[in-house]
Structure 1
Amino acid sequence: MVTPALRDDRGSATIEMVLLVPAFMLLLMMLVMGGRLALAHQSVQSAASEAARAASLERGADSEDRGLAAAKTFLSDEGLECSAVDVTVDTAGKASEPGVPDQFVDATVACDVPLADLALPGIGGSRSVSATASSPIDTFRER
């Protein structure tokens, strides 16, 4: 016969909570990290589109500068905190003669999203998010 002292369940809920709370917190922080990276990717994609469009619309020789400024302004307006931002605008398509179809301006934006404040084990520092966009150059543009 088993005595009631051997069936005592006191303290089992505490042990379960001690085991489950850290796992739940880790899952919650990973969801926050995924959301932060998804929002950063969306903002970086939009910044690349803005840079390509601004550079393709610029008529003068400062197309690359206009694209760089547009991307950095868009990222600051979005409030995206990047530890490092790299914007590359390729305006080689603008060197073609007017009337040549299928010429594009390409823009690539890369952002290092800081993740150190989440304190996830094995994940520290930052993750790089990058995107590339193209914008067509007007075939019948003037010089």
Structure 2
Amino acid sequence: MSQQHAAGAPPQRSGGARRHRPSRAGDERGSASLELVVVVPAAVLVIALVTAGWRLWSVRSQVREAAAAGARAASLARSAAEAELSAAAVVDSDLATMRSICTSPVVHVDASAFSAPTGDGDVTVDVSCQVPFTDLLVPMPGALTVEGRAGSRLDSYRGRQP
């Protein structure tokens, strides 16, 4: 055993092949650009998904509120035809007031309770519409359908016609 090896120095490899050890400054060369290429698109995608989720939740709440307002208006009508007209007008007005992104709203009113005896029955209003995602910061294809349903008891003290 040689003196160098015994003193704690690493043994020399035979064959003349030496290992190249990069300096500390060179260890992270290129890592910033790699992080930029990987992290930024991932962060943008997460922000886009959060924005789309918020839009979907917001429009779903608006549609439910509009359906409830339409059901209240329909329950105060005197006839089934008047109930359908007033519910549709209130739903459209409510969505416009909230500046909803809801496109192509469809309103269906179940006014069959107007033919029931006084004091019995509910009027239900179903609202559905499309929520587009093509106009977001990161456009996503397509649209989702959201629906809202609400009911209201007919006013038993109001005169009505079937």
Give the structure-2-normalised TM-score: 0.78
Are 1:63 and 2:63 matched, yes or no?
A: no
Other structure's SS at 1:16 match: helix
**2:55 matched to 1:18?**
no
SS in 2 for 1:117: coil
1:25 Cα offset (Å): 0.5
Give the alignment partner of residue 42 of structure 1, picking from 42, 58, 61.
61
Question: 1:85 deviation in Å?
Answer: 0.8
Is 1:95 the counterpart of 2:115? The answer is yes
Report the 3-state secondary structure (helix = DSSP H, G, I; strand = E; otherwise coil) of the residue aligned with 2:145: strand
Question: Which ranges of structure 1 fall in alignment gaps of 5 or more residues?
Answer: none
Residue in structure 1 matching 2:154, options 125, 131, 137: 137
Q: Following the alignment from structure 1 to structure 2, what is the Cα–Cα distance between the partners of residues 31 and 134?
A: 31
Question: Partner amino acid for 2:36?
Answer: M
Q: Secondary structure at the match of 2:100?
A: coil
1:21 CA displacement: 0.7
Structure 1 counterpart SS, 2:55: helix
In the alignment, the residues of structure 2 paired with residue 70 and residue 47 of structure 1 have an alpha-carbon distance, to the nearest angstrom, of: 7
Percent of aligned positions that are identical:
34
Structure 1 segments (4+ residues) deviating >4 Å: none
Unmatched 5+ residue regions in structure 2?
1-18
Matches within 5 A, 1:121-132: 123-132=140-149
Q: Name 1:76's counterpart in structure 2.
A: 96
Q: Deviations over 1:14-41 (max 9, x none)?
A: 1111111111100100000000000000
Distance in 2, matches of 1:4 and 1:67, equals: 75
| Alignment RMSD (CA, Å) | 1.8
Greater fraction helix: 1
Give how far 1:116 is off: 1.1
TM-score (normalizing by structure 1): 0.88
Q: By how many angstroms is 1:3 displaced?
A: 2.9
